Structure 1
């Protein structure tokens, strides 16, 4: 019996598959033209992110470039060390786990990267690329067994098995991303972290890849963390959505609640920027625009990091750091929204 069959037969547990609590990732940056004795600046790439994810669910993470989305993904999987907080995977703290334990856990947590071609070794055939995790974790598996599993997973993601001996440069961007998905699925993981997997693809190919991920999620019981700039894609695939700005969480809620009634001004601006297929509605809709440029993450504003671009900001926002507050289904980090909406 495969891992996916076992997972589907197990009763639902109250314990989340993944729980991230107060996660922080800070980098020391040596500034140009600084005196030798000047201490390095601190870049707070991820600053206090918390969420839970259950088996079979999808968490969408959105925000502008530089908001810390990719760093958060890499911290969860252990590619960059966390400075504070913890990542609990099925009851085990990954930030405190030993390297040998992390190696075993990585069978259950895989990643799909943004650039499909750059994430594939150009000197290896796609058969070898997809089989590489099997050689790493199951070195005693025979060559015939590996080939059989690779052919099966290729067929599952829509790649013809007779392409197994071709090289990545012979494929389109969408096909290369399918190769990356096949490589992530070959070990039958429980969680796949998708770091902007469709941003470099054409719109029609994006839809194919997203639909493929949804089909595989249902068939294999996968949990997904889906990072993207395109909120229409996030809305289509996610159960809950986390909005980030300069490393901080500004809004977290179910996909239905957040898109139907966005609370934070930043979320409202992001959602209003999503184009609609109705030209008349698009011309007449009210679109709240973001003021100014995104501040430097090395020198973020005091208090609320969004205050320099926020239409609701006043003097109190410069010295009070808002925290996520609200119900389990929808919470927001904004002093004005919390004060004005008492039922929240």
Structure 2
């Protein structure tokens, strides 16, 4: 059996937080941004990661690429654990794991030309390449992502947001990576441009055999591009399943609430339209609820939810919930009554 490209087990990222204006001897509190995340990413597939702001999506991405310290295990296909590698040893994997960032213009150096920006990873990972060969590769990559090679000497401010994101994609692809982590790559773009960028990523994935970790708030976009989807809440995995299964048969109340916020042409034909929106605010990650972290906002919460932490259970469709399954009409009515009050 072929080994997965990436296997993540019990990934944790914590930050010590000291209140503003606190005395030096004041004990800091621990913010658990990512708290025990497990998933497997097969080669050539896309894992979508969704959840509210502050649930740990971007921190998870930065931990995998080594931008923030983490604990746990992230096993690459060759058996190496990416977590805790020294900068020197991690350099061997930098060319295999690249990242596309949320703000296309802010992620580009305004003092460098497009050619210099795209060629920069080659200077780091392929220093032996002749300058003429680098320029040829850059022009070929520009053409591949939908940019004119004649624009190689222009600067980022001369391009639109969608074109800047194409530059970011070209920069990530120039070193021929196996995994690209996309941290909300289309959230700053117009809807029509979003579709173009998503279709470009899917075409490149098919042509080059790439694997993607795609982080986004837009669940419709995630459904379109992902093979599997992982739902995060306060740094924990609530549910993970194939894209079709998760959208057609969500088991966790949090996933059901997220899907209820997705606009549909005919709500009467969509089962997610029966689910009530989330109520209340996201708890502080420095003081999460006991037991199930979602229980303070869950219409199905019971005493067991406060006493026991639910375990992510299941085979292909995994859910971390003591009482999984679609909400009943009575539960929905009761939740709406509480929300109205």
TM-score, scaled to structure 1? 0.91
The Cα offsets for residues 208-229 of structure 1, whole Å up to 9 and x where unpaired, read as 0000000000000000000000
Q: What is residue 74 of structure 2 aligned with on the other side?
A: 87
The Cα offsets for residues 22-67 of structure 1, whole Å up to 9 and x where unpaired, read as 0000000011244543310000000000101111000000000000
3-state SS of 2:314 partner:
strand
Answering whether residue 257 of structure 2 is matched by residue 269 of structure 1, we say yes
Answering whether residue 337 of structure 2 is matched by residue 337 of structure 1, we say no
Unaligned runs of 5+ in 1: 1-12
Q: What is residue 175 of structure 1 aligned with on the other side?
A: 163
3-state SS of 1:274 partner:
coil
Q: For 1:1-344, list aligned pairs within 5 A.
A: 14-82=2-70, 84-90=71-77, 91-278=79-266, 285-327=273-315, 329-337=316-324
3-state SS of 1:93 partner:
coil
Distance 1:98 1:279, change over 3 A: closer
3-state SS of 1:123 partner:
coil
Distance 1:36 1:215, change over 3 A: same
CA shift, 1:281, in A, is 5.7
3-state SS of 1:323 partner:
coil
Unaligned runs of 5+ in 2: 328-341
Give me the CA root mean square deviation.
Answer: 1.6
CA shift, 1:316, in A, is 1.7
3-state SS of 1:337 partner:
coil
3-state SS of 2:39 partner:
strand
The Cα offsets for residues 63-84 of structure 1, whole Å up to 9 and x where unpaired, read as 00000000000001111111x2
Question: Partners in 2 of 1:236 and 1:81 — Cα distance?
Answer: 32
CA shift, 1:98, in A, is 3.2
TM-score, scaled to structure 2? 0.92
Equivalent pair of 2:267/2:273 in contact (CA under 8 Å): no
